[in-house]
Amino acid sequence: MAQALLIVDVQNDFCEGGSLAVAGGAALAAEISELLDATTDFDYVVATQDWHIDPGAHFSESPDFVHSWPVHCVADSRGAALHPDLDTETIDAYFRKGRFAAAYSGFEGLLAPEDEVRAGERSAGDSDENDGDDDAGAEGAVTLDDWLREHDVDAVTIVGIATDHCILATALDAIEAGYDTTVLTDLIAGVSAGPTEAALDKLAAAGVELRRS
């Protein structure tokens, strides 16, 4: 069986200068790149992206930062692109989530086109042919779980942004789906300290291995 590194939402809007920035996001992108350069432990590397078209109440002009948020990671915008300090050369597949509803877990994502522009230079005027596909209903859509099982992956290691939201949701879904799941605690970044610690406690209680890289 195989192991996969799952890079969650290391996108421009979640890093410094973005519309929903997490402190340390840009440095984290570079640190994950260093890990990719230094290790051969993973058979596959997969990345997820928030990719919003019209997510309804997930966007708000008066967000509560729990269920609603400022506009971020709009499909095909620079904010939705992976941070340029993240080395994408070894990434085997990309999964996009949240087109028409809130989506925190990478397991809600769908496989992106192979001819995708991978990192941060893309402008808001560019577009992809399948941006109108519904997350749940796109014909022939491949989910993250589909892809991992097709590639005989039974263990996933998770890094990225944000610990108290998308890392939490992705790791819990990975455990529920039956994957041996590890979160590298030095290669994640949370929105705030209290919820981040609570998220880590919840992950440990669910059976996720928490360790440093």
Domain count, the chain: 1
Confidence band, pLDDT 50/70/90 cuts, at residue 63: confident
pLDDT class of 139 with cuts at 50, 70, 90: low
Q: Can you give the CATH number for the domain in which 109 is found?
A: 3.40.50.850
Residue 85 in any domain: the answer is: yes
Report if residue 205 sits inside a domain: no
Neighbours of 184 (CB within 10 A): 19
From the list 99, 98, 116, the residue with the least C-alpha distance to 170 is: 98
pLDDT score at 137 = 46
pTM: 0.89
Query: Would you say residue 201 lies in a domain?
Result: no
In a domain, 90, yes or no: yes
pLDDT at 132 over 50: no
Mean pLDDT to the nearest integer, 88-92 = 95
Domain coverage including residue 81: 13-148+159-180
pLDDT, the chain, mean: 89
Q: Which residue has the higher pLDDT, 116 or 122?
A: 116
Q: Does residue 210 register a pLDDT over 60? A: yes
Domain contains 34: yes
Q: pLDDT tens for residues 32-59?
A: 999 999 999 999 999 999 999 999 999 9
| 103, pLDDT greater than 50 | yes
| In a domain? residue 38 | yes
Residue 167 predicted with pLDDT over 90: yes
Residue 145's closest CA among 176, 114, 187? Answer: 176
Under 8 Å between Cβ of 25 and 14: yes
- Which active-site residues does the annotation give? 9, 97, 166
Residue 185 lies in a domain: no
Note whether residue 140 is domain-resident.
Answer: yes
Beta bridge partner(s), residue 74: 52
